[in-house]
Amino acid sequence: MTSLPKPLGSYSQYKIVDNLIFIAGQGSRNHLTNQEAGITLDSSGNLLSYDIKAQTTGCINNLRTVLELLNLNLTDVVDLTVFLKAMADFAAYNQIYNEYFNFPNPPTRTTVGVLDLPGHNFIEIKAIAMQKEKS
C-alpha cells in the first residue's frame, strides 16, 4: 500500500464531506526518504539550491498518492490552491503543472506568493477533489 509523508502537525491529510474531498497542502517531501525533492544542502544542512520543477513534481506526486488511496486521480480534482515561496518560479512550476493537468476541463487554480513554507519547501499544493456519483 502506498503511504504519505507523516504530517508535520496535528491535521488530517484529507477530509471527505459528502462527495467532496478536501486535501491538505502537499509539499515535496518523499515518504520513504523524508527529504524534500530538488534540494541541495551543504554538509551542515544549509540550503545551497533548489529545483522548483522537482519540487512541483514531488507535490503533485504526493497529491496523486492521496487521490489513489481514495481510488481517484488527477482528473477528479476540481480546485487547487498553490503556494509559491518565490513568484519568480511561476513559469517553471507552471510548465510542470501543465504536464500533469493537460486534459479537458482541468481544475480551477489559484496561485499565491507566500513568505515561507515548512522545511525546505518552495511550493505547496492543496486541493479539492470530487468523487463521482455512484450509479
- Please report which confidence band the pLDDT of residue 1 belongs to, taking 50, 70 and 90 as the band edges: very low
Whether 47 is in a domain gets the answer yes
3-state secondary structure 26-77: ECCECCCCCCECCEEECCCCCEEEECHHHHHHHHHHHHHHHHHHCCCCHHHE
Whether 1 is in a domain gets the answer no
Whether 4 is in a domain gets the answer no
In this prediction, residues 112-117 reach a mean pLDDT of 96
**Residue 8: per-residue pLDDT:** 63
In this prediction, residues 7-20 reach a mean pLDDT of 82
Whether 39 is in a domain gets the answer yes
Helix (H, G, I), strand (E, B) or coil at 129: strand
In this prediction, residues 3-12 reach a mean pLDDT of 66
- Please report which confidence band the pLDDT of residue 132 belongs to, taking 50, 70 and 90 as the band edges: confident
Whether 9 is in a domain gets the answer no
Cα–Cα distance for residue pair 57/36, rounded to 1 Å: 11
Whether 84 is in a domain gets the answer yes
Counted domains in the chain: 1
In this prediction, residues 108-117 reach a mean pLDDT of 97
For position 31, which CATH number holds? 3.30.1330.40
In this prediction, residues 35-51 reach a mean pLDDT of 93
In this prediction, residues 23-47 reach a mean pLDDT of 91
